[in-house]
Structure 1
Amino acid sequence: MKHTMSRHTFYSLTVTFTILSILGQLSTSIYSPFFFDLAAIYDSYVGIIEKSVAVFLIAFSLSQLVSGVACDYLNKQKFLLYGVLVFIAGTLMVALATEENTFLVGRVIQGLGGGVGVSVSRGLSRQIFSEKQLNASLSFINIAFAIAPAIAPLVGTLIGESFGVSSIFYFVLVMGVFALLLLLSVSTTLKQYMPTTSENVFGDTLALIKSTMMKIVSVGMASGLLYGIVFSFITISPSMIMQQFGLTKTVFSIYSLLATLSFVMGSIINIRLASVSPLFKFKYSSLFIAVLSVLFGLLISPFAIKGLMGILTYCYITFFFIGIAMPCSVTIMLGYSDKSAGFLAALTGFFHLTGAAIGAYAVTLITLEPIISFCLSSCGLSVASILICTTLKRN
């Protein structure tokens, strides 16, 4: 039973959950303008630093999946506390790293800790908020999800150029400690509103797996591959924009901000199209992305369409339609069961972040110039996504 909650308590908990949820995104986007600087510091290749995005996302996605499923049966508050501590430990390792291997291991540990914050805070929200409060809280967190990776490169550029590259990771460390303090500050409140026992959803989850798992996997894979296009861009964009076109870190950060705003605009249009079924919007957005990616791939080589504005236009349009498709995929996934929503939410995060890791890693494996690598990876991901979409049918 949900108890009466004051506005102050609601916003205190929502802010805490929001900070816990965006730590992972912040820790990845904030150092993207300094890929080449880090490669020079570690006497390594920029490709190794680019792969740090992929290894983080793999750990982040696995952590979300495991913690999302496990939190139904464990103490969520302690689970969150341990997750933040692991994230802080990984961030400290990254900040103190003097070689690439230590840096990569630190990123993996960051991912393992950061994933807990996303899944478990969502599970707590479902337990302690009313339906109206839950909608408001998740909307606030979704806005933060969009804004955090957009402004993080700008913040990272300002900090890194003013105080040095390592100061970026110390800033993330401070954010982790801030999240820990917030969590401790609301610990008494959480104990007050948390139910004494968690509902056992094991039987319902088994029934869901037996009856609907193939549909869930299809939606998850199709949407995850679209998310992979976003992280292909995030991974290769420093090389594509700064190295290939010789632009500054500040200009690069602004272009990244515009890419995120395109994603946000797509999400807003999705809300406006509330009367259209999520499956329809998801399938046709995926189809448009696939057609646009193939067209871009056909034009870029024979006609040498390699100008920055042409590439960015393709990215912004693609991100706009991904902004429509992604919320629809979440709605479809969660719609398969109201009793196993925690399990479905964990799977949603897992598939999205696994797709993001695939996109981030794939673009580093194609050893061609950055534009061609991004073109091939985004084309492959979008075509694979629409092929899976063809198997989806209206329930």
Structure 2
Amino acid sequence: MTPKPVAKPSLLVLVAISTLQPIALNLLAPATPALARHLGASYATIQLTLTLFLVAVALTQLIIGPLSDRFGRRPCVNAAIVLFVLGSILGALAQSTGTLLLARVLEGAGAGTVFALARAIIRDTASRDQAASQIASVTMVMVVAPMIAPYLGGHIETWFGWRMIFWGLTAVGVIVLLLTVARLPETAPSVGVKTSLLGIFRAFPDLVVDRGFVVNVIALSMTSAAFFAFIAAAPFIVVETMGRGADVYGAYFMLNALGYMIGNFAMSRLAVRLGAAPMVKLGLVISFVATGVGLALSFSPYWTPLALFLPLAVSSVGNGLTIPGSTAAALSAKPELAGSAAGLMGAIQLGAGALATVLISWLVTVWPQSLVAMMWLMMVVGLVSLRFLKSARNT
């Protein structure tokens, strides 16, 4: 008997569910100094709104695949969006730091679920080439989302206060939920099959001893963690150290997203011709040089928002080369374990980002230049890790 063909979701649905995470992550960032003042908490404590969000997303990456295999993609996506909406409402009504942090955990769990399942849905319904095209389209929008979100978040906080940011996220969540209820079909190939969570963990030991996987995950994690550290600390530098408004941070942040788009476009055009590995190294070298320039400028008397953001926008061009290249290389280390590799890689990537936000949120209040210093050191670690991969290939 011929299996019934699986209905394909529209690109609009895939884009909608994929952008919840970057929007929720970046929309609140410009308001963190105002949150600290309003709730009477330290800046490091308020930055847990970013850290715990990332932790929730990281943990979700590990477990949601097996759950959606058993119960289906559609119910997991819809339930996750409901969780995201509840978290957003709780954030809008929060009167204490603890309630605010709980709200961000709920948002992170919901956004992390739909982010992970968007890629699974694409794999369910498309061939390899079609999937590559759809993922590229979705990724392009995901780059635009963090470019616009800080700008909007900064202006919303300036004009209406930080609570309106959460009400805005609530509205976005409700709109996406209505869209998925109406237009997201079930795509899982074998709903109801009992998949043990332990099964996915059994592949992890094989991955952590594979040098190709480990080295590329280190490069990916250092690059991503540097970006998350920037999100955590740059608002404090711009608002508290440089005395500018949250809207200024949001406007300059667009330079970083533009740089990443340029790097991503270059990778898509040159990877086949030059190879992903040289492009990853080139990306790290660009980021290393750019953050080094940014570090030098941070000690000058002319350290302005432009002097902070412009070198790091160039670094973002390098990130646009490194992140997709190292991601593809890590997943290709053991193709038969690609699913487990994606979950473990995502958890390590976001876990490193969470740790970086904890550390930098404290350091930046003591020494503002620590942000650029940390980002530069992370690029050093990424470049050094590539030497281990090269030495393995020569042995």
TM-score range, shorter chain: 0.7 to 0.9
Where structure 2 has 5 or more consecutive residues not aligned to the other structure, the ranges are none
Q: Which is further off, 368-377 or 324-333?
A: 368-377
Partner of 1:279: 277
Alignment map for 1:357-372 (pairs within 5 Å): 357-366=354-363, 368=365, 371-372=368-369
Does structure 2 conserve the Cα–Cα contact (< 8 Å) formed by 1:285 and 1:322? yes
Q: Distance in 1 between matches of 2:175 and 2:297?
A: 48
Q: Distance in 2 between matches of 1:245 and 1:91?
A: 30
Partner of 2:329: 332
- Provide, for residues 179-198 of structure 1, a one-character-per-residue CA deviation record: whole Å limited to 9, x for no partner: 211111124xx23x542456
How far 1:136 moved relative to its partner?
2.5
2:72 aligned to which of 57, 71, 75: 75
Number of aligned positions between the proteins: 387
Partner of 1:149: 146
How far 1:75 moved relative to its partner?
2.2
Q: Distance in 2 between matches of 1:178 and 1:118?
A: 16
1:383 aligned to which of 361, 373, 380: 380
Partner of 2:87: 90
1:210 aligned to which of 206, 210, 216: 206
Q: Distance in 2 between matches of 1:376 and 1:365?
A: 14
Does structure 2 conserve the Cα–Cα contact (< 8 Å) formed by 1:220 and 1:347? no
Instruction: Tell me the SS of whatever aligns to 2:47.
Output: helix
Partner of 1:58: 55
- Provide, for residues 259-315 of structure 1, a one-character-per-residue CA deviation record: whole Å limited to 9, x for no partner: 1101111111112212112122112322443354456546644x5563443322321
How far 1:165 moved relative to its partner?
2.1
Q: Distance in 1 between matches of 2:333 and 2:4?
A: 28
Q: Does 1:256 align with 2:250?
A: no
Partner of 1:140: 137
CA RMSD between the two structures: 2.9
Q: Does 1:353 align with 2:350?
A: yes
Where structure 1 has 5 or more consecutive residues not aligned to the other structure, the ranges are none
Instruction: Tell me the SS of whatever aligns to 2:228.
Output: helix
Does structure 2 conserve the Cα–Cα contact (< 8 Å) formed by 1:59 and 1:111? yes
Does structure 2 conserve the Cα–Cα contact (< 8 Å) formed by 1:127 and 1:195? yes
- Provide, for residues 88-130 of structure 1, a one-character-per-residue CA deviation record: whole Å limited to 9, x for no partner: 2221211110011110111112111211111122112111223
Q: Tell me: CA distance 1:2–1:98, structure 2 relative to 1, closer, same or farther (3 Å).
A: farther
Partner of 2:189: 195
Q: Which is further off, 331-340 or 201-210?
A: 201-210
Q: Distance in 2 between matches of 1:309 and 1:243?
A: 16
Q: Which is further off, 224-233 or 34-43?
A: 34-43
AA partner of residue 176 (structure 2): A
1:222 aligned to which of 211, 219, 222: 219
Q: Does 1:109 align with 2:132?
A: no
AA partner of residue 332 (structure 1): A
Q: Distance in 1 between matches of 2:80 and 2:258?
A: 30
AA partner of residue 214 (structure 2): V
Partner of 1:170: 167
Partner of 1:373: 370
Q: Distance in 2 between matches of 1:314 and 1:25?
A: 23
Q: Tell me: CA distance 1:255–1:296, structure 2 relative to 1, closer, same or farther (3 Å).
A: closer
Instruction: Tell me the SS of whatever aligns to 1:167.
Output: helix
Does structure 1 conserve the Cα–Cα contact (< 8 Å) formed by 2:26 and 2:149? yes
Q: Tell me: CA distance 1:52–1:370, structure 2 relative to 1, closer, same or farther (3 Å).
A: farther
- Provide, for residues 6-37 of structure 1, a one-character-per-residue CA deviation record: whole Å limited to 9, x for no partner: xxx75x53222222222122112112222222
Q: Does 1:231 align with 2:228?
A: yes
AA partner of residue 102 (structure 2): V
- Provide, for residues 56-103 of structure 1, a one-character-per-residue CA deviation record: whole Å limited to 9, x for no partner: 111111112221354344422222222222222221211110011110
